[in-house]
C-alpha cells in the first residue's frame, strides 16, 4: 500500500524510487502527473490528475490490474475550453483537491477558471452508484481573483471547510448549500461573549449560585453558563441569597404590571445577592436622550434610586460597562 501511494502520487520511475527509498516496490507507473490519491473504506483507489501542457484535468479509478478508467464517467472528464458547447457546470475544469468524505462519497474540488460561470464547484460522487449525487456551485462565495483549492469536513459530514487561494477559509453548510457568513457566528462572536463577561463582572467562581435577570439572547446564554432560578425560587432554595447576580436588561426593565421601572432589576439584585456577593451589569444603562433613532430616549432618566445602605451593609461588589468581546472571542474582530 505504501508503494502504491508513493508511486501513484508522484509517478516516479523505478531507479528514482529505489534511490529515494530503498525497499519500495514499483507496482504501477502513470503517464500523467497525478496530484493525489483517495482510498475508500473498501479499498477502491481514486486519482486526481491535473492539467499537463496538453491534457485537461481528469479523475480516474485505479483498477486492480493497474489500469485506469475515467471516473465517474467520460462525460465529467470531457471539458474542452476551446469548445463553446463544453459545459463547465457538469465537467471537471480544474481538479484542485479530492478526498473520501465522512459520508463515504468521493469529493472533488473543482477550482474552475476565472470568468467561467459555474466552473468552481464541489462535486460529490456516490461510490455505490458511481454517479454524482451532490453538487455545490461556489462562484457566489469566492472572490473574483481567487479560487478554491482543497476541502475538509466536520465529523458529521454536514459542514465543508474550503481553502481559498487568497488565504481565506470558507465554511459551507452542506444542508442549505450556503456559505456560513460572519453573521451566523454572532452568538459566538458577540452575544455569547457578552453573556460570559456578565459572569466575569459578577466575580463568578466555580460552584457559585447565580441569578440571571433577563431572558434576552444575552440572558439565555448567560443561563447556559450557569443554571439560574427565578427570584422566588432563589429565595426558596437559597434563603441566604445567591452568590452572584447578573443584569441582562438594563434601563428598559418593566415591573410585574408591565410598567417601565428602571431600577427594579438592580434593586432586586441587591435584595437576592448574599453577603459578600457580586453583581454584574451588562444591561444597557446609558440614557441616550431623544433623537430620530431613539424617539423616546428622553424617558430614560440618567439617575435611579439605589439601595445603597443594603449594598454597603452586605459588602457587595459591582462591575458594569460595555463589554469588549475580543478577550472571550478573538475571532469576532
Does position 329 have pLDDT exceeding 90, yes or no? Answer: no
Give Dmax (Cα) for the chain. Answer: 90
Confidence (pLDDT) at 326 = 60
Residues of the chain with pLDDT > 70, as a percent, come to: 79
Q: Is the sign of the CA dihedral 304, 309, 314, 319 positive or negative? A: positive
Residue-averaged pLDDT of the chain: 80
3-state SS class at 332: helix
120 and 137 Cβ atoms separated by less than 8 Å = yes
DSSP 68: E
Q: What is d(CA 176, CA 248) in angstroms, rounded to the nearest whole number?
A: 33
**Worst-scoring range by mean pLDDT, 58-62, 72-76, 196-200, 287-291?**
287-291
Q: Using pLDDT thresholds of 50, 70 and 90, give the confidence band for residue 61.
A: very high
Hey, what's the torsion of the CAs at 154, 156, 159, 162, to 10 degrees?
40
The string of pLDDT tens digits covering residues 116-174 is: 888 999 999 999 999 999 999 988 777 667 788 899 999 999 989 888 887 777 888 89
Query: Across residues 37-60, what is the average pLDDT?
Result: 86
Q: Is the pLDDT of residue 237 over 70?
A: no
Q: Given this model, what pLDDT does residue 21 score?
A: 67
Strands 210-213 and 242-247: what pairing?
parallel
Q: What is the DSSP string of 94-147?
A: -EEEEEE-TTS-EEEEE---TT-TT-SEEEEEETTTTEEEEEEE-GGGS-TT--
192: region left, alpha or beta (phi > 0 left; psi from -120 to 50 alpha):
alpha
Q: Which residues pair with 160 in a beta bridge?
A: 153, 172
Q: What pLDDT, on the 0 to 100 scale, is given for residue 226? A: 53
Distance CA 233, CA 258 (A): 21
Q: Which residues make up the CATH 3.40.50.720 domain(s) of the chain?
A: 185-332
Instruction: Give the residue range(s) of CATH 2.120.10.30 domains in the chain.
Output: 32-180
Residue 241 scores a pLDDT above 90: no
Dist. CA 13–CA 176, nearest whole Å: 46
CATH of 32-180, one of 2.120.10.30, 1.20.950.20, 1.20.58.220, 1.10.3720.10: 2.120.10.30
Percent of the chain exceeding pLDDT 90 equals 32
The mean-pLDDT minimum among 27-31, 157-161, 184-188, 227-231 falls in 227-231
For residue 327, the model assigns a pLDDT of 63
- Of the pLDDT bands very low, low, confident and very high (cuts 50, 70, 90), residue 189 is low
Q: What is the pLDDT of residue 56?
A: 76
In this prediction, residue 285 carries a pLDDT of: 81
pLDDT given at position 81: 87
| 61-88 mean pLDDT | 92
The predicted-structure confidence for 76-125, as pLDDT tens digits, reads as follows 999 988 898 999 999 999 998 999 999 999 999 998 888 788 899 999 99
266, 304 in Cβ contact below 8 A?
Answer: yes
Class of the CATH domain delimited by 185-332: alpha beta
Is residue 209 scored above 60 in pLDDT? yes
Phi then psi for residue 309, to 5 deg, are -65, -45
Average pLDDT over residues 25-50: 87
Task: Indicate whether this model's pTM tops 0.75.
Answer: no
Amino acid at each position: 500500500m505504501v508503494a502504491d501511494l508513493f508511486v501513484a502520487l508522484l509517478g516516479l520511475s523505478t531507479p528514482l524510487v529505489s534511490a529515494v527509498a530503498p525497499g519500495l516496490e514499483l507496482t504501477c507507473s502513470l503517464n500523467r502527473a497525478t496530484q493525489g490519491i483517495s482510498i475508500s473504506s473498501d479499498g477502491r483507489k481514486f486519482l486526481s490528475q491535473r492539467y499537463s501542457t496538453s491534457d485537461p484535468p481528469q479523475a480516474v479509478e485505479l483498477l486492480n490490474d493497474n489500469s485506469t478508467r475515467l471516473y465517474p464517467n467520460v462525460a465529467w472528464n470531457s471539458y474542452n475550453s476551446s469548445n463553446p458547447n463544453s459545459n463547465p457546470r457538469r465537467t471537471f475544469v480544474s481538479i484542485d483537491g479530492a478526498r473520501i468524505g465522512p459520508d463515504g462519497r468521493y469529493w472533488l474540488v473543482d477550482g474552475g477558471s476565472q470568468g467561467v460561470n459555474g466552473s468552481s464547484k464541489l462535486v460529490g460522487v456516490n461510490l455505490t452508484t458511481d454517479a454524482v449525487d451532490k453538487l455545490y456551485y461556489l462562484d457566489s462565495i469566492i472572490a473574483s481573483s481567487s479560487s478554491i483549492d482543497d476541502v475538509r469536513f466536520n465529523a458529521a459530514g454536514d459542514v465543508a471547510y474550503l481553502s481559498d487561494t487568497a488565504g481565506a477559509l470558507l465554511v459551507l453548510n452542506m444542508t442549505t448549500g450556503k456559505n456560513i457568513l460572519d453573521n451566523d457566528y454572532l452568538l459566538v462572536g458577540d452575544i455569547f461573549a457578552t453573556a460570559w463577561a456578565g459572569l466575569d463582572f459578577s466575580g463568578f467562581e466555580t460552584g457559585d449560585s447565580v441569578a440571571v435577570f433577563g431572558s434576552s439572547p444575552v440572558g439565555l446564554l448567560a443561563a447556559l453558563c450557569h443554571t439560574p432560578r427565578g427570584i422566588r425560587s432563589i429565595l426558596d432554595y437559597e434563603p441566604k441569597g445567591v452568590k452572584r447576580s447578573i443584569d441582562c436588561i438594563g434601563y428598559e426593565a418593566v415591573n410585574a404590571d408591565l410598567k417601565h421601572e428602571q431600577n427594579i432589576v438592580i434593586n432586586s439584585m441587591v435584595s437576592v445577592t448574599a453577603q459578600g456577593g457580586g453583581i454584574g451589569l451588562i444591561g444597557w444603562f446609558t440614557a441616550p436622550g431623544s433623537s430620530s433613532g431613539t424617539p423616546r430616549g428622553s424617558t430614560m432618566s440618567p439617575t435611579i434610586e439605589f439601595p445603597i445602605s443594603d449594598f454597603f451593609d452586605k459588602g457587595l461588589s459591582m462591575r458594569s460597562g460595555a463589554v469588549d468581546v475580543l478577550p472571550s472571542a478573538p475571532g469576532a474582530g
